[in-house]
A and B are shown apart, each in its own frame.
Chain A
């Protein structure tokens, strides 16, 4: 099956700093989503981005499907950005998502 690797696995930032999270996948995908899992376990949809670039406030994402990677940019980070960030991909087999390995982000004051 498809492999989805995220980097870095862990990241500590000072509040106000910017960061880039990466998601590499091993096969062509029909769908790619980015999620933030908060400390209580809730997954929050950030982006549905099978290709191209999108922005939402301090967050933006870019997927280069031909090169099999996606990037999530967080600017001016806040403590509430802490949690785990997952990318998840669907290769077209019944809309099933395969989740990446995750990036654990901690934003400190």
Chain B
């Protein structure tokens, strides 16, 4: 149990376009999901916390108008990178916290390349 999926796994887009990444908890409900960003050879950095039915909370330095987060159900959160630029190229990873626990389970990640 505790499987989290992400879609797409890899995306290439042109500068100025928007990209949506989906994160789903497949076999459990998650009132809270998290979005992370990872640059090559570096650790994961938390971008935002996504709570079902309410606005996301963003970490310091993360532009909320650029990284739009929606958590419409107990199994789905989406991250939209708006007006993407080459510096947004990165590995984006989501996690979901199973209801009633504090343990986070991670999706396989989405590799975004902006040309």
Contacts and interface: CB of A to CB of B under 8 A. Distances in A.
Interface of A: 30-31, 33, 35, 40-43, 45, 48, 86, 88, 90, 94-102
Contacts of B109: 41-42
Interface of B: 2, 32, 34, 38, 43-46, 49, 57, 91, 93, 95, 97, 102-106, 108-109, 111
8 contacts: A31-B102, A48-B102, A94-B49, A94-B57, A97-B34, A97-B104, A99-B45, A101-B43
Given A41-B109, A42-B109, A96-B34, A30 B102 contact: yes
Interface of chain B: mostly helix, strand, loop or mixed = strand
Contact of A95 (B32, B44, B45, B91): B32
Contact of B46 (A42, A96, A102): A96
A106 to B, nearest CB: 14
A90 B103 contact: no
Given A41-B109, A102-B43, A95 B97 contact: yes
A42 B107 CA distance: 7
B108 A41 contact: yes
A82 to B, nearest CB: 15
Contact of A86 (B2, B44, B57): B44
Contact of A100 (B34, B43, B91, B102): B43
A31 to B, nearest CB: 5
A95 to B, nearest CB: 6
A41 B93 contact: yes
Contacts of B38: 41
Contacts of B49: 94, 96
A94 B111 CA distance: 27
Contact of B91 (A41, A86, A94): A41
B43 A99 contact: yes
A97 B57 CA distance: 14
